[in-house]
Structure 1
Amino acid sequence: MTTAISISTEARHDGLVLGISAETAGNRLVDLGKEQGEFIRERITEHGAVVLSGFDWQEWPELDTFVNAVVGRPLDYTERSSPRTELHPGVFTATDHPATEEIFLHTEQSYNLNVPRYLFFFCRQESPDGGASLLADCRALYGALPQETAERFEREGYLLVRNFRPGLGLSWQEAFGTSDPDEVQAYCDANNIELEWLERNHLRTRQLRWAVATHPETGVRSWFNHMTFFHARTLREDVADFLLEEYGPWGMPTNTFYADGSEIPDEVVRQLQAAYRAQQIDVNVHTGEVLIVDNISVAHGRAPFVPPRDLFVSMAGAHAWSELRPVERVSAPAVALPTAPQ
């Protein structure tokens, strides 16, 4: 006979994060999911993020079972922008990014037409120094932006340009999960992405995307995009200067523009970066803990750290962008895609 798991809760960071802790030892994470899945899901929506502490888990299939119990089947990692290793269906390593570098705040896969609602971060080993998870409330961020900036991007969206070249970032094969150009073409056709083969192994893609989303449950609008994260000026300054000089704004591995293809001024990018920073909180996720984020409400990132640090990620709860734009009911801005300046 099993007994109910006894838990306690604590609001943290002005309520953006809810801590949910086991009051006794020996409780399994999979059992928590079965017993308290609905409660956890409701708290994620209410607060934006939760941290689970004191629940035992060991193997990757347990993580899959837990995610299924709370929010449904984990999602695949499509249209990739960073290297990850799939450890079990729907369970991936965290972004393989140098430990000495920060990962700037962003909302996961917001440049896809179908985006994950929930992000699960399972900490198997915390760093001995650094490595905090950075979170920012995108609802508050949107409300704090200068009206002119917010209104233009909400109305028009933004343009994302990606260039795939050998030896510079992800290859197109890694990003699209295939070595068949016809499959890449089919994916792009189905996902409002225009592609252009500039050389045999140099692929450029262009896609217009919305910048502001309406939460499907709460109806609250949030700043939900990859515009700042992918902009050239969010790279380290020396790296950005080199790449811009070598390849130009339209030749960068990733860069973002106004919807008409014109460059976003550096001062606007700095304004957006400062808005994220103003909302940023540092959440230390300890060994054995699980951080769950409502991806539409809360951006995430990572502070630099001293290895080792071992974190696994699952994504779940897909929403089409058309669901997040209740007025237009379309997944991407319906305007002609601009081309590179000659």
Structure 2
Amino acid sequence: MRVSMADVAVRAGVSAQTVSRVANGSPRVDPATRARVEKAMADLGYRMHRAARALRTGQTSTIGLVVSTLASVGNSRMLQAISEAAAARDYALAVVTVKERGIRDAFARLRSQGVDGAVVLNEATELARDVEPPADLHLVVVDSPPDPRFSIVQTDHAAGARAATMHLLSLGHDTVHHLAGPVRSFAAAERERGWRAALVEVGATVPEPVRGDWTSASGHRAARALVEASAVFVANDQMALGALRAFAEAGRRVPDDVAVVGFDDIVDAGEYRPPLSTVRQDFDALGVRVVVALIAAIEGGEPVAESVPTSLVVRESSVAG
């Protein structure tokens, strides 16, 4: 026998309207009630029929994701987090890239698939800022300066970079060098801003940053210019891996001769040699906030701006174990 919303409501001790809001991904349900309803759904094996919901609401329960590349660890982790957060609210996910086609084409492709709204991720956000988004396509942008046209969810990159830099300075280093990300990346600019602010705050020399493109190979190339440094903050963990190789090739021991801190805390960061100190991004929290903000926009809510905090993870690359 098919489980109904009424059955779920009885099991969860809420109204059928509350069950409907949870099933439709509405953000207007407090977390404890949502968890109770979702548990009742799971216990009873309840599933919302997507086609029926589309007929009733005029929405497809599908959201889009616009991304420039999935080659970077950060982007692939965000894809996973957004996909899981959408699935938990019974939304499907359609992914388009803008590497070969423009942002307008990406929006057009999503609209042709009938998505209810879309997320624009990281490097693609610069492209989104340069065009007027379609009036009938609700957007949430990940990592962007303030923009009244859409909701923005971002990591507090600057605070994370400041914490990493202050950590290195606390170890007695006169200054901290920076291996930065791409010049047009918002996240890279924010991390550079946090690094620079920490040095200025303590009156330390601010060295000219060297720059990579987020890949390990670019980190290896760029770090060759930093082999005389005693402390380096690297804008992501992939470039930090290349930097560790460059320092090893130059006969520089980490952390004895040069202390290194990365950014992201990717899954393998603790397996580097030595294990990498890094700034942890909470990709799961980002994914949830992105999806909740997009569902709210789809339901007529006003644009929001949210920032997700980071945390410093200290391992052997900056402090000998």
| Fold shared by both chains (TM-score > 0.5) | no
Higher helix proportion (structure 1 or 2): 2
Based on CA coordinates, which of the two structures has the bigger radius of gyration?
A: 2
Q: TM-score, normalised by structure 2?
A: 0.29
Bigger share in strand: 1
Q: TM-score, normalised by structure 1?
A: 0.28
